[in-house]
């Protein structure tokens, strides 16, 4: 069944766990994530990011995400990731997404807050939730720059001004592949969480160790965005299987191999985020 981000993160808060937010850019991604979530009985977030429209249009994948989330046996939030365009936000909400991220992190504090507040007003008309971001998580060299970490006082002011449901913060993670081991600022997470009183979102989950995930969750992270390693595992496994296979490889073989290994990868992430592993 489809639930909002506010509802699903409320479940996470009650148990002091994090919910995996998995970007999907293909049918096998949705099947892997929902398959693993149903197998483990865990709530989950599936999200679409507009930059993936170079692989598949939101108009194509979005309705499939909504339909499959609706039929799932676990609570599923269907979320729009990193979007700074109000028209795209409205299209996602019209399609049935239950949550959106307005990303104004590249703007001034004032502009980001004003636009985020406008996004909250739009989403509330649909009964949907909003995530926003201050601080930055992208870097040229695969490591977080010192000057882009989220300031706790700014975070507190931002949440009060906007009325958002979750805040993406910068504390040492970056999107994509890391070139250096991530150095996460755990006390900063706790300080921000204590000040803002709403769930913190970690972006750039790929490449963070299981131990570091657990420390982030203990300090207040409740949503973990994860994509690159799932996609890389799927691709590498397919490459290996193609090389090992004698005779023809059919396209349906590729989708089945990818689904098999990606379900495993996502399932492991869910076990770590939900505290099932290491109990």
- In the chain, what are the helix, strand and coil shares in percent, each to the nearest 5? 50, 15, 35
Site string for ligand 13P, 36-75 (x = CB under 6 A): ----------------------------------------
Find the helix or strand (DSSP H, E) in which 253 lies.
Answer: helix 251-273
Fill in the per-residue mask, 213 to 232: x = in contact with ligand 13P (CB under 6 A), - = not in contact.
Answer: ------------xxxx----
Q: Which stretch binds ligand 13P (CB under 6 A): 27-35, 59-67, 201-209, 261-269?
A: 201-209
Candidates 50, 204, 234, 267; binder of ligand 13P (CB under 6 A) is: 204
By CB under 6 A, is residue 206 in contact with ligand 13P?
yes
Question: Chain-centre distance of CA 87, in angstroms?
Answer: 21
Shortest distance, CB of residue 203 to ligand 13P, whole angstroms?
Answer: 3
> Least Å distance between CB 22 and ligand 13P?
9
Q: Exactly one of 4, 23, 42, 129 binds ligand 13P (CB under 6 A); which one?
A: 23
Contacts of 103 (CB under 8 A, 6+ apart): 82, 83, 84, 132, 133, 168
Q: How many residues bind ligand 13P (CB under 6 A)?
A: 13
Whether residue 222 contacts residue 199, with contact meaning beta carbons closer than 8 Å, is answered with yes
User: 63-83 as b/e, with b when 16 or more CB fall inside 10 Å?
Assistant: eebbebbeebebbbbbbbbbb
Residue 81 catalytic? yes
Q: Which residues are tagged catalytic? A: 81
């Amino acid at each position: 069944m489809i639930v909002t981000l506010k509802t699903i993160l409320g479940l996470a808060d009650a148990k002091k766990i994090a919910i995996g937010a998995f970007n999907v850019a293909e049918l096998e991604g949705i099947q892997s994530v929902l398959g693993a979530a149903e197998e483990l009985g865990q709530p989950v977030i599936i999200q679409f990011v507009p930059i993936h429209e170079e692989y598949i249009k939101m108009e194509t994948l979005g309705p499939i995400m909504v339909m499959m989330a609706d039929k799932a046996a676990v609570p599923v939030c269907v979320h729009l990731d990193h979007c700074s365009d109000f028209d795209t936000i409205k299209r996602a909400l019209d399609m049935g997404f239950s949550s959106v991220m307005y990303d104004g992190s590249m703007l001034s504090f004032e502009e980001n807050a004003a636009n985020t507040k406008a996004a909250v007003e739009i989403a509330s008309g649909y009964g949907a939730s909003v995530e926003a971001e201050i601080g930055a998580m992208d870097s040229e060299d695969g490591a977080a720059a010192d000057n882009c970490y989220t300031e706790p006082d700014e975070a507190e002011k931002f949440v009060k001004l906007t009325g958002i449901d979750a805040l993406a913060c910068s504390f040492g993670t970056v999107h994509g592949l890391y070139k250096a081991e991530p150095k996460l600022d755990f006390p900063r997470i706790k300080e921000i969480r204590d000040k803002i009183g709403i769930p913190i979102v970690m972006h750039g989950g790929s490449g963070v160790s299981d131990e570091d995930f657990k420390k982030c969750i203990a300090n207040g992270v409740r949503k973990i965005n994860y994509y690159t390693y799932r996609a890389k595992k799927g691709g590498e496994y397919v490459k290996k299987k193609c090389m090992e296979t004698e005779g023809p490889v059919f396209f349906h073989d590729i989708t089945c191999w990818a689904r098999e290994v990606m379900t495993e990868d996502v399932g492991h992430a869910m076990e770590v985020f939900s505290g099932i592993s290491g109990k």
